[in-house]
Amino acid sequence: MATDALNEDADHLYGLAPEEFTAARNARVREVKPDDRELAARIQELRKPSPAAFLVNQLVRRKSDEIDDLLDLGAELRQSQARGDGRQLNRLARERRGLIGELLDTASAIAEEFDRDASRAVLDEVEQTLAAGTVDEPAGDAVRSGRLIRGLQAVGFDPVDLDGAVAGAPLAASARPKRERRRAETATRDTKTDERAATEESEREAREHAKARAEFKVREARARAEEADKELRAATEQAEEAEGRLEALRDEREELSARLDEVRREITEAERRARSTERDRGRAAKAAEQAHEELDDATAKRG
């Protein structure tokens, strides 16, 4: 399966708010599965980003130049660390703090835009992730991918743990723009043309983002509707089953009631017969007693 297809879907999904992610992913899986089961399975494995990862992914999409500045600054920091240049390290560290501070302000604004509460803990994790991206090149690639699943954390200049941190493949190193080259190109660009191109690009990105967001909302709504239909069918079946059981119990109750009436009639008749038999027995006993008396009288007279 082509990695580009997975990354394209992941780029869309990790640009969404976390609460929209699962429904949109599942809708995409259903859409892809009939034609490419392997791709559908890979998409299904994509996990919802943490709140901090979501904000970093949004920064990559909206502040790509500033992210590039920060990550390229990380390369300079590593070189200065290798040379043991303390003065240069201090200068670059101050510059890094400034860039991260500006990006944190943007992250707070993005959180408000999505009606999310950017707590201090979440912003701290965003700060740690941005700083970790400057510690080693793979971590920078993970941040730059815009597909982070969780935040990153650096311990000194040791390699950053990226296990389960990024969805899809990281951005290729050859595709990373270098800060110095980009600054030189910007310096020679005509200001008015640059502003017009930037505006057009911003509008295009906004339109594309709005279109992609609308498409995913439609897929999400369709997925919710299908799930609601499924639940309605299940509830209807359960109601019909319960109604059938209730009807059967009613029939059984009527049968038992009729049988109870019959038993009561039988008991009444048995009691009546018992009383009649008792009366007959009493009369027979009285007759027998009288016969014995008559026999005794007859015997006495004969003697």
Going residue by residue through the chain, which has 303 residues, state the pLDDT in tens, using 9 for 90 and above: 457 889 999 999 999 998 999 999 999 999 999 999 999 999 999 999 999 999 999 999 999 999 999 999 999 999 998 899 899 999 999 999 999 999 999 999 999 998 887 899 999 999 999 999 999 999 999 999 999 999 999 988 789 999 999 997 655 553 455 555 555 555 555 556 566 766 677 677 657 756 756 676 767 768 687 887 888 788 888 878 888 888 888 888 888 777 878 878 887 888 888 788 888 888 888 888 888 888 888 888 887
- In angstroms, the Cα distances linking 91 to 79, 95, 187, 272 are 13, 6, 23, 116
Helices 51-62, 64-83: axis angle to 10 degrees equals: 100
129 contacts 161 by C-beta, under 8 angstroms: no
One-letter amino acid at 225 equals A
pTM for the full predicted model: 0.58
